[in-house]
Amino acid sequence: MPNNVSFPNSQYSVTFPRNFVWGAATAAYQIEGAWLADGKGESIWDRFSHMDGTIANGDTGDVACDHYNRMESDVALMKELGLKAYRFSISWPRIFPEGFGSVNLAGLDFYNRLVDKLLEANIQPFVTLYHWDLPQKLQEIGGWTNREVTSHFADYAAVITKHLGDRVSNWITINEPWVVANYGYKSGEMAPGIKDEKLSLQVAHHLLVAHGKATQALRSDNSSAQVGISHFLRPTAPASRDPRDVEAARSTWSRDGRWFLDPIFKAYYPPDIWNEYGTRAPRVKPRDMSLISQNLDFLGVNYYTRNVMSREGQVLKVPGSKYTEMGWEVTPDALQKLLLDISKEYKLPPIYITENGAAFEDQLTEAGECEDEDRLSYIRDHLLHTRIAMEQGVDVRGYFLWSLMDNFEWAYGFSKRFGIVHVDFKTQKRTIKKSGHWYSNVIRNFGFPTEKQVMDKIAMAGSDRTERK
């Protein structure tokens, strides 16, 4: 491997359990390209990105990382990195160009081959069924505002498990329902670009119902299926101890976090927020809450940053804090706190961090290397705080970096790079960044070297836990 980042000899290291799942994640629309190949139908992101003024620099996912045509070499790259697992999503309109009805076998064949290649490389597939690219045909009947779509989603899940379930054990039904409802149907910054708060609340409910129905569909064909959902969780902190700031932080978390976690793990919506929404609250059918709150095999946590809230409900910048290219504060200790807080609040199944990573401006050196120290530190510090949370008793089983490679970052197009592999979008050349080499070594060594103070911190977390017992 070129540009090897070797670990210094150190007496101390942050180590993870031998069976910890080390992975990286991507999503279909962000990497595949081939937007009309082999009978694929149009998705809402194909439609949205082709509209003027929706995406930075007029970018689209038409080609993206051309992963559809480069899948085999991309899997070889994952193997070179030593990944133990790969989280990818399936493009629903590749399988059902019309959203439902007849199956496009050529689309299925792509994912069949991908799964086979992964298994040959000893990489465990984690499959996300919905990472935002709804078939456009379903948008034409109202998209997620139409309850019928939840049944089409379950039918799609059933077809996928029938074809891949003999080789895939781990399934994520839906990625980040909060983002879909909030940006797709409330602010309109993402596909399908609708701005209607009441509708967005109905959409959020339908996404949870769809999750429930798909969970049943996945399990009915395969009793050993491990099913979870990935939530975008952004904890909040008040700007000061002033009760008005404290209240703003509490209510933001309730609307963005509890609104999505309570139904799944408590079988009801938070009553305070339900009352606040009044006539905007969603229509809920009698069996919905039990459908939504079926036991899960794992919870996927997608964590990037926290929000510091002012009493006016604004997100504040914290002087002296470091920020990523997305304008997100770098707060690894808030991940540790989040993991502890949700583990106390809910009776949770095991957790996978299904996304964590950072966009920074990357430059290739003349020698063609990418020295992304900022990203490397970001990943190291988040792994460290994950490990401390584990020591404090949180059951984290694995970690998926966002992202395997630079890709189409939604409304930001190709302007934000999250990958541990650099992609030259003109030539499609892949270059493993320094963070990628580092991560590869972490996987091979089950952890990374550190200093004595860090070890003391971890030991202290462990002893606090013993005392609490």
Task: Provide the H-helix boundaries in 84-176.
Answer: 92-95, 105-120, 136-139, 148-164
Contacts 24+ apart (CB under 8 A), 198-205: 198/279, 198/280, 199/145, 201/277, 201/280, 201/281, 201/282, 202/145, 202/282, 202/283, 203/143, 203/144, 203/145, 204/177, 204/178, 204/180, 204/259, 204/260, 204/282, 205/282, 205/283, 205/284, 205/288
Q: Chain-centre distance of CA 318, in angstroms? A: 25
Is residue 129 within 8 A of residue 89, CB to CB? The reply is: yes
User: How many Cα atoms are found within 13 Å in the side-chain-facing hemisphere of 67?
Assistant: 29
**Torsions phi, psi for 123 (to 5 deg):** -115, 125
Annotated catalytic residues are: 176, 355
Largest CA distance in the chain: 63
**Residue 53, burial from CB neighbour count under 10 angstroms (0-12, 13-18, 19+):** exposed
Cα separation, 170 vs 434, in Å, equals 29
Helix (H) or strand (E) holding 396: strand 396-402
Q: What is the DSSP letter of 140?
A: T
Instruction: Say what the alpha-carbon torsion angle 260, 327, 78, 428 is, to the nearest 10 degrees.
Output: 120
Site for ligand IFM in 335-364 (CB under 6 A): 355
User: Token pair for residue 105?
Assistant: 């076998």
Site for ligand IFM in 401-460 (CB under 6 A): 402, 409
Is residue 380 within 8 A of residue 330, CB to CB? The reply is: no
Q: Is 32 helix (H, G, I), strand (E, B) or coil?
A: coil
Pairing of β 447-450 and β 170-175: unpaired
Partners of residue 450 on adjacent β-strands: 12
Q: Which listed residue (14, 21, 27, 31) binds ligand IFM by CB under 6 A?
A: 27
Is residue 205 within 8 A of residue 288, CB to CB? The reply is: yes
| Residue 302 touching ligand IFM (CB under 6 A) | yes
Cα separation, 301 vs 343, in Å, equals 12
Cα separation, 21 vs 229, in Å, equals 17
Contact positions vs ligand IFM (CB under 6 A) = 27, 30, 176, 302, 355, 402, 409
